[in-house]
Chains A and B, each alone.
Chain A
Amino acid sequence: MIRIEHLTKSFGGIHAVNDVSFEVERGSITGLIGPNGAGKSTLFNMVAGLIRPDSGRVWLEDENITGRRPHQLFHRGLVRTFQIPHEFTRMSVRENLMVVPPAQSGENLLQSWLRWGKVRREDRAVLEKVDEVLDFLEIGHVADERAGNLSGGQKKLLDLGRTMMTDARIVLLDEPGAGVNRTLLGKISDAIRRLNTERGYTFCLIEHDMDLISSLCHPVHVMANGMLIASGSMDEIRNNEEVREAYLGGGISGRMGASA
């Protein structure tokens, strides 16, 4: 579904991402792990069009999407969340999600001026969907709150909610579990699995929570120091010597639950 070829990005002297290649198979839930600063988010940002790679290419199906803008990728079915949640601060939570659906005719100013009835009808349909998503994420009670006033975890959920407001084909999630309580996290991972099996969404997710990764993801890719150091099933990864080394100091045995 997505093929990453030799992606490279440096910031000054730091090789944030260094010649990384792998593929996210259609229909998979692919995991991307690695210690802090490994270059995972930078890689995501390049795939999602937010930053330009120094070299290398990204393919979506058969199309070279390197350098395409995020909004163009959205319309090709690629959506993403941010590690640090990006909310529309001074807009209500409900409005935050109402922004997302594509092809709202009211986004054309003339249509809004001249065909208000139609615009309002569409808005009501959008609202149905919004409230569904809010209820699912259990943030319905803050629907009227300004998004900027939400807690860190709630913002994370709102960001995830954005990806649920459109018919995506591939979803990139940057640490969906960070700051979210256990129960809800279980629900989110169920939802990911369901969207994957029932609707055929492909996922690629970055996570530090190894339980979440091992229960959801196959295959898993590991990055360290900007490079891809291992790929495979979670079991294979656990027993990979290089991976263990990369995580040393980060406490691999504790965090990966490895049999030591």
Chain B
Amino acid sequence: MELAGIAAYLVSFFTFVGIYAILALGLNMQWGFSGQFNIGVAGFFAVGAYTSAILTTPESPWHLGGYGMPFLVGIVGAVVASALLGLVIGWITARLRTDYLAIATIGIAETLRLIVANERWLTNGVRGMSGIERPYADFFAALGLSSAMGSLIVVCAFLVLVYFLVERARQSPWGRVQRAIRENEPAAEASGKNIGRFRLEAFVVGSAIMGLGGALYAHYFGFLSPEAFLPLYGTFLVWVMLIAGGSGNNKGALLGAVIIWAIWSGSEFLMSTALPEALSGHAGPLRVLLIGVLLQVILIKRPEGLLPETTPKTVPFGKRD
């Protein structure tokens, strides 16, 4: 009984870690490789989640939908929708400095959250969308696995795919150019690189990955409400994961997701049991404070994160013959 409870907890824990790891990898593409400051991760996450939910849910009087599309169509739809959003934002801000990108992304993310909260015909507003299924549940049931376990497997499968794609991108000449642009724009331009094009590509691909994370979240959690896309969950935690884990390092993004999620979810438990009565109303802000302090400590001890960026293994080390 105890054991089953722990197992269920671990399944849910690692499913969340997997989803957050996907978001962190998407952000790594934008910030870690390319140096683009997207503080509207939650917006892309939300677009992916709602797109897949609307495409796959059965008819409902409460929100747009009734298309009943298969799971994979929902996933592809989420990826395409968030990529398009990235394309538009990236294209508009391409000629602006990075600080404008930051303002644009947070503005768009908040706007999207307000649309989600207010356009009830579309999303059922603050009451949220329920009844989003785990379409893969039957498949795993036939194998004798629970649908929660199925979610974990599906999330992990996508995480492996995303990790492979993002890591190869990092090792490739494309990733090299991205880092060059991040390090020195004029020199990258003088080396013949069209920095606008490369920037936009990294932004769009990163956005698409975030959208994928959103779709997986929607199907796993089964319920969407604007709450989930507050900057705290959708953006802040993802940034902390990437920075603490090691910006520019994909393994760092994974490690950051595990550690920060462990501390974040662990602190909820801690606060609910150990906090004195008088402070119990402040548990939320205290958790954020805890994460903030932790980030400070990591950055002082290891300024480049727990796993700093490394030279890709495609670049030989040492003297060649």
Contact = CB atoms under 8 A, between A and B. Distances in A.
B173 A74 contact: no
Contact of B168 (A79, A112, A140): A112
B195 A71 contact: yes
Contacts of B92: none
Given A91-B311, A99-B177, A140 B190 contact: no
A89 B184 contact: yes
Interface string A86-119: 1111111011101110101111110011001001
Nearest to B175: A112
A94 B320 CA distance: 11
Contacts of B190: 48, 50, 70-71, 74, 79-80, 82, 86, 162
The 7 tightest CB contacts between A and B, nearest first, are: A74-B192, A112-B172, A106-B173, A86-B187, A88-B183, A70-B189, A104-B173
Contacts, number: 119
Nearest to B171: A112
Interface residues of A, number: 46
B188 interface: yes
A70 B186 contact: yes
Interface of B: 165, 168-169, 172-177, 179-180, 183-184, 186-195, 201, 205, 309, 311, 314-320
Interface in A183-232: none
Given A109-B205, A131-B320, A162 B191 contact: yes
A166 B168 CA distance: 25
Contact of A86 (B174, B177, B186, B194): B186
Which of A50, A94, A102, A109 has the most chain B CB atoms closer than 10 A to its own CB?
Answer: A109
B173 A112 contact: yes
A69 interface: yes
22 contacts: A70-B189, A71-B189, A71-B195, A80-B190, A86-B187, A87-B187, A88-B183, A88-B187, A89-B184, A98-B173, A99-B173, A99-B176, A99-B193, A105-B173, A106-B174, A108-B174, A109-B172, A112-B174, A113-B169, A122-B173, A143-B319, A159-B187
Contact of A89 (B183, B188, B193): B183
Contact of A95 (B165, B169, B176): B176
B17 to A, nearest CB: 25
B173 A127 contact: no
Contacts of B174: 106-109, 112
A112 B205 CA distance: 14
A149 to B, nearest CB: 13
Which of A107, A108, A119 has the most chain B CB atoms closer than 10 A to its own CB?
Answer: A107
Contacts of A122: 173
Contact of A98 (B168, B184, B201, B315): B315
Contacts of B314: 120, 123
B315 A94 contact: yes
B59 to A, nearest CB: 38
Contact of B311 (A82, A95, A131): A95
Nearest to A76: B192
Given A90-B309, A95-B315, A71 B194 contact: yes
Nearest to A162: B191
A201 to B, nearest CB: 16
Contact of A88 (B168, B169, B180): B180
Contacts of B318: 143-144
A109 B194 contact: no
Contacts of B319: 140-141, 143
B192 A69 contact: no
A75 interface: yes
Given A91-B179, A119-B172, A131-B320, A82 B187 contact: yes
Contacts of B173: 98-99, 104-107, 112, 119, 122-123
Contacts of A112: 168-169, 172-175
Contacts of A99: 173, 176-177, 180, 188, 191, 193
Given A50-B189, A71-B190, 4 more contacts: A82-B190, A90-B309, A107-B172, A109-B172
B120 to A, nearest CB: 39
A99 B190 CA distance: 11
Nearest to A100: B191
A91 B165 contact: no
Contacts of B177: 99, 107
B94 to A, nearest CB: 13
